[in-house]
Amino acid sequence: MSPSAPASPTARPSVVPPDERVPLKEKAAYGAGGLSSSLQNSENYVMNPIFVVNLGLSPTVMSFALMVYRLWDGVTDFLMGWLSDRTRSCWGRRKPYILIGAILSGLWMPVLFFLDPAWSIPVIIAWMVSIRLVAFLFETIWNIPFQCMLLESTPNSSERTNMAAWRSYVGTLGGIGMTWIWYLIQHPIFHLNGQPDLLNGARWVYFGLGLAILITGLGPLFVKQRVEAADPAKAAKEISLRESIRLTFTSRPFLVLIGFTLLLQSSLYMKQSLEFFTRLNYVFGGDQKLAAAVSGVGGTLAAVSGFVGIFVARWFANRYGKILAVKAIMALSIVAVLSTWVLYTPAYPYLSLVPGLILSPCITGVWMLIPSMLGDVADHDELRSYQRREGSFAATYSWTNKLSVSFAVMFAGPLVDLAGYDSSLRDQVQDPAVVERMRLLLVIVPVATCAAAYWVIRKFTLDSAAVAKVREELDRRRADRLVEPSPSA
């Protein structure tokens, strides 16, 4: 099906019909899942401080270790999406896994930090990878059904954007606390024998975060499914995992979305790694305490600006369309990255927070819009395949996320080492020439990948007019099925 001409950029969206509107209490319940999802990624905030800076792992070794469990995570995503699509229970297709996954993820969260720093580097790496392989399996059991519930909560494209906004609202609140984790685990209350012990601090902090993940992860259980297949007889046809994956990759709009995601995630994660080492060594002169405190302040302010960004992106998308909103976000992201060359200065450490304040609303805005666009892709796929395959799309998209993160971390560590970073120095400041090379890479790499992501999203054809036409045809199918005479008539 070829999309119709783009709608006027000033056209206002139609009012959401009452039977397609999601009640406030269900949006809040789904939003609680957004907090759980955010907290499940909180370990990323302490991996470099604990495993590289304090335990002495090389950034390159760390990158390849992280890549292993990310790729594993992608494999389990496919299996979970296919399995949940085929599940039939009195609770529906997704909710049994939401319950199991929330419990397992919450209880497993602190296990990573029960290691002995006296272990050899290979043993520490083996421990880290094996524990996180299990952790990501538990997260997948919960996360894929959670993503599917957004696509099934309402058939209305604008209301999906509103649901995604709620997930982002609450998830962003979790981001405020996570930026302080590095600082919190250094608190004197966690010292052993009067000496700082980041591992001991992490054990206690992540025990509390695990409980929070368990409780908030149960919120999506209270969301009702409102999307049914246009033709249940055809949708009920069982297909193999291989066939489901093949069909998913024949959707052109979906291929555009995953290409965009691959580039965007690569940009963000490579920037995150380069940014950590650049700020620590250039802006803060190797002072971990100061770096952690300023990062905490910056994270809090960035979370606030990100929260505001959700409102702006939601308004912009509903008025001018999701595609134009994503384009605007990518252009602003490039500006934020370029500003680091000027605003990262040891003379004024707090100026280094400004790029994050610009970038944060961009990140929260785009991750609010992409799941809503994925719902439009699922509708487009149903029109051509008669299948409601939210699980396959959510799993494949999640796998793309993990692949892009694996790609990013695979190159992020070697980029730091290529610049000349010496992990044996531990608390000592790196050579100025090394730091200067990291500053240059911090600008060039994210700008190039963001620009490529901007070019790719221009190929996404499901604008407001095309989505409305798809929805009209699906409604016509349902109406025809309801008036179709029975075989015995």
> Where residue 171 sits, what CATH number does that domain have?
1.20.1250.20
CA pair distance 121, 198, nearest whole angstrom: 17
> Which tens digits make up the pLDDT trace of 265-314?
778 777 877 888 888 888 887 777 788 888 878 878 887 888 888 888 88
Return the higher-pLDDT residue of 129 and 238.
129
CA pair distance 275, 443, nearest whole angstrom: 10
Residues 356/360/362/366 CA torsion (nearest 10 deg): 140
* Element of type H or E holding 247: helix 241-248
Backbone angles phi, psi at 459, to 5 degrees: -90, -5
In single-letter form, the type of residue at position 57 comes to L
- pLDDT grade for 429, boundaries at 50, 70 and 90: low
Backbone angles phi, psi at 275, to 5 degrees: -65, -40
Q: Is 3 exposed, middle or buried (0-12, 13-18, 19+ CB in 10 A)?
A: middle
- pLDDT grade for 10, boundaries at 50, 70 and 90: very low
CA pair distance 17, 471, nearest whole angstrom: 13
Q: Is the per-residue pLDDT at 365 higher than 70?
A: yes
In single-letter form, the type of residue at position 205 comes to V
> Which tens digits make up the pLDDT trace of 13-39?
456 777 788 899 999 999 899 889 888
The total domain count for the chain is 1
Domain membership flag for residue 103: yes
Residue 48: predicted pLDDT: 78
Domain membership flag for residue 3: no
Q: Is the per-residue pLDDT at 465 higher than 70?
A: yes
Residue 436 makes CB contacts below 8 A (sequence gap 6+) with: none
Domain membership flag for residue 237: no
Domain membership flag for residue 285: yes
CA pair distance 28, 220, nearest whole angstrom: 9
Domain membership flag for residue 463: yes
CA pair distance 320, 9, nearest whole angstrom: 5
Given its phi and psi angles, is residue 321 left (phi above 0), alpha (psi -120 to 50 degrees) or beta? left
β-partners of residue 195 are 192
Q: Is the per-residue pLDDT at 2 higher than 50?
A: no
In single-letter form, the type of residue at position 468 comes to A
- Joined tokens for residue 224: 């009702």
- The range of the structural domain enclosing residue 90 comes to 30-225+248-478
Q: Is the per-residue pLDDT at 155 higher than 70?
A: yes
Going from the C-alpha of 97 to that of each of 83, 138, 160, 167, 195, the distances in angstroms are 10, 10, 22, 19, 42
> Which tens digits make up the pLDDT trace of 70-117?
778 777 877 887 788 778 878 888 899 999 999 999 999 999 999 988
Q: Is the per-residue pLDDT at 402 higher than 80?
A: no
Going from the C-alpha of 74 to that of each of 368, 381, 400, 402, the distances in angstroms are 21, 22, 7, 6
Cβ atoms 438, 416 nearer than 8 A:
yes
Q: How far apart are the first and last CA of the chain?
A: 34
- Please state the rounded mean pLDDT for residues 51-70: 77
Domain membership flag for residue 267: yes
Return the higher-pLDDT residue of 234 and 401.
401
Domain membership flag for residue 412: yes
Domain membership flag for residue 374: yes
Helix, strand, or coil here: 192? strand
- For the chain, what is the largest distance between any 2 Cα atoms, rounded to a whole number of angstroms? 85
CA pair distance 222, 303, nearest whole angstrom: 27
- pLDDT grade for 207, boundaries at 50, 70 and 90: very high
Residue 251 makes CB contacts below 8 A (sequence gap 6+) with: 377, 380, 381, 393
